[in-house]
Structures are given as structure tokens and as C-alpha cells.
Structure 1
């Protein structure tokens, strides 16, 4: 029997839409159109950081829905793709936007990579869109229409394109200078939430994992983004970049003042 694309999603009985909207500083009613979902997506992007602080602390990263709600809403924290896109999926479920999950193969690191990234395909006004809030400094900033193959798509100061590969997969690229850089590839095979458990385990525990090797925190804003990587903070505003280094003892203060963390 053919499985529905809307089955097997993250579950979290503790998720409360109004608490979520308050956490992401969303004002007004959520409209079930492109503009409304873009507003919801950017409200979360600008308030919930992409971060791997618990990975760096050697902690187990839970994929239990209620644990993700507790971390992001109650503890005012962020997470990486599973937590960030996971909580957005809970919001989409609550407001009634049809969507399903995809597994993507990151291509920003050298060598062969497994499909460890988690994204969302949502149907908005009878069109399918890629939604992804959890790809660090190179995340798309609004729903990206799947039918716009080969087009240059501006998201504020970033430019993306979606192309089809010879393997009949989709490849998301970002324009860096005058060259297109690969971000990740994927197909439209629906994934169950449980399918991401092995990838999550690899990401938080394997010595080869980028997240085990490096501290990273990213918080986009209306004019650009701030990226903490190892011992420096890169601020990108209207396409212009400034980089400042810091000492280990200043990390807590920087996380609180620059990335809106509380009670670390």
C-alpha cells in the first residue's frame, strides 16, 4: 500500500503554537499563503540560532519532539537541522500546511558525504516549495519554489539556484562571487522522522563529523547574518563582511550579546 507523504512526522504533545509564535517574536495571524509562510520562516530564522553547543559539550542530541520543544521554546536555545526544521514542521502541522521530509547530501565539505541533512518539501497554494532553516550560514531565507529550475533566486543579499543533475536529483547552489557553489543534493523520496536517527547519531558523535570538530553558531537577520566559527565572529551586513576574533573566556558573553542566548 502506498504511504502518504504526510505520515511519520515528528510528534510533540507539548508543542503549543502560541508559545512557539511568542518564542520567534511572530506578530499577527499566520496566513496560509506564500507571504505568510515566508514571514513565519523568517521570524524563526531571525530568532532561533543554528548551533551545535551541546555537540561540542559531548551531549547526546535527542530527536524526541518534546525534547526539541523544551530546548528551543522553553530554554531559548537553537540546534542544527533536525531541531530547527523539526520545530518548524511542528508549526506547519499545527497550521495545516501539507509537507513531507527529504534527506539531502551536503556538498560543502570535500570528499564523499552521506545524506545527513534534513529538509522539508511543503505545498503552499498548490505549489511545492523547498523549506530549510537549518543549513547554517547558507540556509535559504524563504520557501524556494521547486518548479523554478535553473533560475537565479535572490534571498536578500544571497543568490540561490536549483538545478537538476544527471542522476535526476535536485542540486541547491549558492552564488559566491561569480561562481556557483554546491550546497546539497536531494531527491523527492519522502523520509520518516525515524530515518534521521542514524544521521543524527553520526553528526553528534562521530570524530569525522563537522559538528564534532567545530563550534558553529549562526543567526541570520534582516540585513544579513552573524556566524560564530571556532574563535571568530563574522558579521555580514548588506553583503559586506567584518570578522573579529575572541578568546575562549569571552564565548559566553558573545553568545548572549550577539546571538540572543540566555542562561547557558
Structure 2
């Protein structure tokens, strides 16, 4: 099996995301699993901030995201999701994307998303893009335009088979990332992960980032700045003092660090704040 789904403790995973009922390889189940995963497992890069490697083997992913109830970034989240889908009986293919959000130049292919077959259609799934990401699968088809909760998403096409996932904000359509039909295998994500978690130019090694998507609000903690954004374009920002940081991480993102890990995070990244 491509995604090692046979090694997954599927009951523990379904309990982690709060999914109840029978899990079948159909669109209804796919939508429910995607929603539940996004709602339950936040985006975060805290292992990198603590100076640790980011292992992508399924045993490590289950230990971190399921047993210890932590979050993770795109490779961790989508590899776990792919294993769960494969175990349930879905056909899953990996894809790689160039992130455009916040980019002024062309970036390398460094984001992971999934192509999942359900009910005779190909679906774009991604539980690992953070606050701006999809809440549910979207048809992997040019011209698709959907609302998910209060958010709007679409897929545009460009030359040479490139597709672009976009979301709408107060200034109009905003490109999130672009991808092609080229297949990626787990080993490709190992290479991408090495760059993303270690390269000096990677944005993920600079400061703590936690994000969470929800139907009515997008939450981000970047460094010490907490931002809540709503579909009407309104947003609120505030600096989180160190004295409130631990409670904020738990309340807004559901991430609980042990005492030693939290003390190290403060020492390395918030000293003097």
C-alpha cells in the first residue's frame, strides 16, 4: 500500500478527529472525514522551533498527531490523512504544489495535497494548509467555485495543465497554490520536508506558527501575534504576552506542550518579550 494504511490504528485516528459512524469509501464519508480532521488537528511547526527533526513515518505521525494530540504541517497532516483514506478503501494519489500565498517570486514545489477518487470523481483534498485551507474536498476540475462554511474557493487553470486553488477575500480572489497532475510519492515528501524543516530560506524555521481553519473564522498565531480573520474581511490582531501564550495556544489551537517543551519554546523564541 502506498500510504502504509495497513499500519494505521484507524479506530484511534477516528476517535482523535471525533468521527462517529461507519467509514466507507464514498463521498459522504470523505467530506465528513476532511471536515473532522481540519476541525480537530491544527497546523503547527513547534517541533522545528524546538530544534527537532520532523519524521514522516506513520508510526511517528500516529504518536504525535493521534496519541499526543498535537498538530503538524502539510506533510504530517496529509500523510496521516492519506493513510486513513487508504485504510478505509479510497484510491489516493499525492500531488505537489508551489505555494503562492504571500509570495513575490516563484517558489519551489514544497506543499503536499491529495487527489482522492470518490463516487466516480476526482477530489482535491488538503487538510494541511492551515488557516486559509479547505474545510472539505473540492472537485479537481477547472472552473469549480464553491462555498465551504462562510468561505469561498475556486480552481482556475493555467497553461501546461497547471491548476490554481484560490480563496476569496475582501480584495477579491487570492491564489493559495498551484499544482500539476504529476504524481508524488511518499519519498518525494521526505525530500520536500527536509528543505522545509531545515533550509535557511524556509519560512517555517523562523518563528512559531499555529493556524486553524473553521467555518466562520481563520486563526493564526505567528510569533506572538494572534490574528482572527472573518469572511467579511474584518480581522482582529493582538500581541500575546508570554504570560498568556500557553493558555492561548491551548484555547485557540488545542495544542498542549509539556512543561519542559513550553519552557524551551519560551527560552529560544520569546526570551525578553
Report the TM-score, using the length of structure 1 for normalisation: 0.91
8 Å contact kept, 2:18–2:36: yes
Which residue of structure 1 lines up, in the alignment, with residue 128 of structure 2? Answer: 134
Aligned residue pairs: how many?
Answer: 256
Alignment partner of 1:102 out of 95, 103, 106: 95
- Larger deviation, residues 173-182 vs 204-213: 173-182
Which residue of structure 1 lines up, in the alignment, with residue 219 of structure 2? Answer: 226
8 Å contact kept, 1:12–1:66: no
**Structure 2 residue 72 is the aligned partner of structure 1 residue 79:** yes
8 Å contact kept, 2:5–2:86: no
Rounded to whole Å, the distance in 2 between the matches of 1:105 and 1:183 is 9
Which residue of structure 1 lines up, in the alignment, with residue 173 of structure 2? Answer: 180
Post-superposition shift, 1:55?
1.2
Post-superposition shift, 1:238?
5.7
Alignment partner of 1:210 out of 188, 200, 203: 203
Which residue of structure 1 lines up, in the alignment, with residue 271 of structure 2? Answer: none
User: Which 4+ stretches in 1 moved above 6 angstroms?
Assistant: none
Post-superposition shift, 1:14?
4.7
Which residue of structure 1 lines up, in the alignment, with residue 267 of structure 2? Answer: none
8 Å contact kept, 2:98–2:178: yes
Deviations 1:139-162 (A, max 9, x none): 111111013x22322111221111
1:189-200 → structure 2 map (5 Å cutoff) = 189-200=182-193
Rounded to whole Å, the distance in 2 between the matches of 1:130 and 1:201 is 24
Rounded to whole Å, the distance in 1 between the matches of 2:174 and 2:201 is 22
Structure 1: 5+ residue runs without aligned partners? 1-6
Report the TM-score, using the length of structure 2 for normalisation: 0.88
Which residue of structure 2 lines up, in the alignment, with residue 16 of structure 1? Answer: 9
Name whichever structure is richer in helix by fraction: 2
Rounded to whole Å, the distance in 1 between the matches of 2:37 and 2:193 is 22
What is the alpha-carbon root mean square deviation over aligned residues? Answer: 1.7
Post-superposition shift, 1:252?
1.9
Rounded to whole Å, the distance in 2 between the matches of 1:113 and 1:32 is 34
Rounded to whole Å, the distance in 2 between the matches of 1:13 and 1:262 is 29
